[in-house]
Structure 1
């Protein structure tokens, strides 16, 4: 590689695995000069050889052989994107970069990172006069190249430096780039984390729908592909529904069997769903659909336990056979899927609101829905409805009570109950469907059994309780004369 001219690049990027390569190519395609670097120089040379001519309107890829050269090649104030493995590798690269940078420079972590790590890094770099950005990028390798959804955290200074580049490479829907500044410090990675949590729930609900249509209705994968293709033409239209039809229609070339039948039924995860649930617990936000989807993946991976349970509790298919009208049951599953999907998104947006409130982020939830309409994995038709809901009522208590979603859930609730009951009779696990229905019922109940829980807590631990008929906090002398006393 030739020695690059100092200050000849608009932005720098280190880490040229698939996502990094594609982001760099996307930037070059949109007219930006991008200095690129990888610890293995051969990977940098490969990128230049294969895609060095893709630049447009002055955009180009500029190869560098070291972090020192990368930094020197980027114009001031510099913006350097880090696209390496999360955790210690990211910290190692940042530690190498910091001594090479100057006050006002921007370091961007565009991978999946825990928001706590992002906050720690932002505070540490701020002491050096540097701006650290946690930038959520959704859309996978195709989105990185063709237009992802981008969630930018960090300072206003960093946003102003990055905005011309990131808005140009993002997906565009109705003329609006799917890119926004969602708040300071860790806001970008927090929003991306919740996005991934919703993604977990969405995929689990789809998987449960497939299981019901196959195990109860008796449809074959190719037939179910047709069902999902039909659903994708209505209010369930989404990227994941479209992909589901493609996967179920695929046939394994080696065996001739449906592809879904030759894949091991043990789902993996990279941790973002778990992070979402842990964060929700800390915030006190019930994200039951996301939690059950995360636990469902965990259960699928406990293959030894599942094998032992099958030996102990196995039953013949006839014992749990449930007769259904295929067409009617398919319609019921569609309604249950849509209602449960609404719950998953409502819970996710509740968590976004709680996180923003706790951390002082001015996250515009309507804007989040707007930038999730394209590029990202959970892009779906009804995100337009969510955007409209927050536009009409920025301080919305819950999406479930907005007219559009309230009507959709009300129309589907009978089918939803029928599907969950049928699944129970047939012995088909539907943790995401079931928990979503229970969440809905819990919200709308006038009285919950939490009153008994409070009584029990006061009995064994003197944790006190409140009454419905007067103000104050009270404790009953359970081990004594049962007298009630008002506590300070």
Structure 2
């Protein structure tokens, strides 16, 4: 099977690598042609000089997977892509788009006979080695066509991916996933800050987080990453206490309001990210470090940072 991957940033480039290693042919395009050249040399990807060039190198039904920033960049690309495609072709949005935008885009493409899949993608910078968790929304027909690709990207053919429902449901599921992630990170950061604050005990946070990784009820991949990071740096003096939010947390809270469902933990976790932009604290440094550990998000450093 062959598809085009448009957007070869941190996630897109590693997904292209994993697809190639899984036997999927990939035609890749990115505005950074250096990345295209690198992947051609390293993974045997077919390079493209433009989106038009990428589409021309596909066979019917043509499949184009977008890994672009949510909002206007994705909207613009889908609008420009549609005239290049024909009935039966498929567009996949693997970025963190708002599920309402995905529903609208799916309906618009369907009117032209073009299939659409919204793929909530989790796994961050570790997905290349560990596989990606894929939550996809699509018609049964589109989902069936895309199965070989989903199996290649997932940790294994029989797990780590699911066709969760109709168009929009993939990004909706990923949105809630990220809202939960906010709450888990906040709880862990607050607890570790309390441990560090009990100075009379001189607690070793690297030792404690490593301890919790084994048979405790709070063990998780997030804890694994935190424990690993604290082994080399417990003070986090070079990490600024600034934690950005990338959108999904806000959308989750809005959804809770629209449904009239109480979600105080998720809401407060989002508010604490806002608070980090105006205050200092060890907990915020931990949150920033965690985001970098699983997603490769940029860490804002202090003035004395390297």
TM-score, normalised via structure 2 length: 0.86
Aligned to 2:13: 21
- The 5 Å alignment of 1:251-330 reads 251=233, 258-303=234-279
Higher relative contact order (CA 8 A, sep 6+): 2
Shift of 1:191: 0.4
Correspondence for 2:211 among 230, 253, 265: 230
**Separation in 2 of the partners of 1:147 and 1:86?**
22
Correspondence for 2:113 among 91, 107, 129: 129
Aligned to 1:113: 97
**Separation in 1 of the partners of 2:129 and 2:212?**
28
**Separation in 1 of the partners of 2:109 and 2:202?**
55
Whether the aligned pair in 2 keeps the contact of 1:247 and 1:260 (CA below 8 Å) is no
**Separation in 2 of the partners of 1:40 and 1:244?**
32
**CA distances 1:274-306 after superposition (whole Å, capped 9, x unpaired):** 111111111111111111111111112123xx7
Q: Number of paired residues?
A: 282
- Report the secondary structure of 1:161's partner residue: helix
Whether the aligned pair in 1 keeps the contact of 2:135 and 2:162 (CA below 8 Å) is yes
**CA distances 1:358-414 after superposition (whole Å, capped 9, x unpaired):** xxxxxxxxxxxxxxxxxxx69xxxxxxxxxxxxxxxxxxxxxxxxxxxxxxxxxxxx
Shift of 1:133: 1.3
**Separation in 2 of the partners of 1:300 and 1:105?**
44
Whether the aligned pair in 2 keeps the contact of 1:10 and 1:34 (CA below 8 Å) is yes
Aligned to 1:166: 150
Whether the aligned pair in 2 keeps the contact of 1:155 and 1:185 (CA below 8 Å) is yes
Whether the aligned pair in 2 keeps the contact of 1:13 and 1:36 (CA below 8 Å) is yes
Change in Cα spacing, 1:197 to 1:41, as seen in structure 2 (3 Å) is: same
- Report the secondary structure of 1:13's partner residue: strand
Shift of 1:43: 2.7
Shift of 1:267: 1.5
- The 5 Å alignment of 1:199-210 reads 199-210=181-192
Aligned to 1:197: 179
Change in Cα spacing, 1:74 to 1:246, as seen in structure 2 (3 Å) is: same
- The 5 Å alignment of 1:33-432 reads 33-49=25-41, 51-52=42-43, 60-144=44-128, 146-172=130-156, 176-216=158-198, 218-220=200-202, 223-234=204-215, 235-251=217-233, 258-303=234-279
- Report the secondary structure of 2:253's partner residue: helix
TM-score, normalised via structure 1 length: 0.55
**Separation in 2 of the partners of 1:259 and 1:112?**
32
- Report the secondary structure of 2:165's partner residue: coil
Shift of 1:13: 0.6
Shift of 1:218: 4.5
Shift of 1:219: 5.0
**Structure 1: stretches of 5+ with no match in the other structure:** 1-8, 53-59, 252-257, 308-376, 379-488
Correspondence for 2:3 among 11, 23, 36: 11
**Separation in 2 of the partners of 1:289 and 1:219?**
29
- Report the secondary structure of 1:248's partner residue: helix
**Separation in 1 of the partners of 2:4 and 2:71?**
21
**Structure 2: stretches of 5+ with no match in the other structure:** 282-293, 296-306
- Report the secondary structure of 1:11's partner residue: strand
Whether the aligned pair in 2 keeps the contact of 1:22 and 1:145 (CA below 8 Å) is no
**CA distances 1:445-470 after superposition (whole Å, capped 9, x unpaired):** xxxxxxxxxxxxxxxxxxxxxxxxxx
**Separation in 2 of the partners of 1:156 and 1:265?**
45
Change in Cα spacing, 1:136 to 1:218, as seen in structure 2 (3 Å) is: farther
- Report the secondary structure of 2:143's partner residue: helix
**Separation in 2 of the partners of 1:151 and 1:227?**
33
**Separation in 2 of the partners of 1:261 and 1:100?**
51
**Separation in 1 of the partners of 2:122 and 2:201?**
33
Aligned to 1:444: none
Whether the aligned pair in 1 keeps the contact of 2:119 and 2:134 (CA below 8 Å) is yes
**CA distances 1:316-363 after superposition (whole Å, capped 9, x unpaired):** xxxxxxxxxxxxxxxxxxxxxxxxxxxxxxxxxxxxxxxxxxxxxxxx
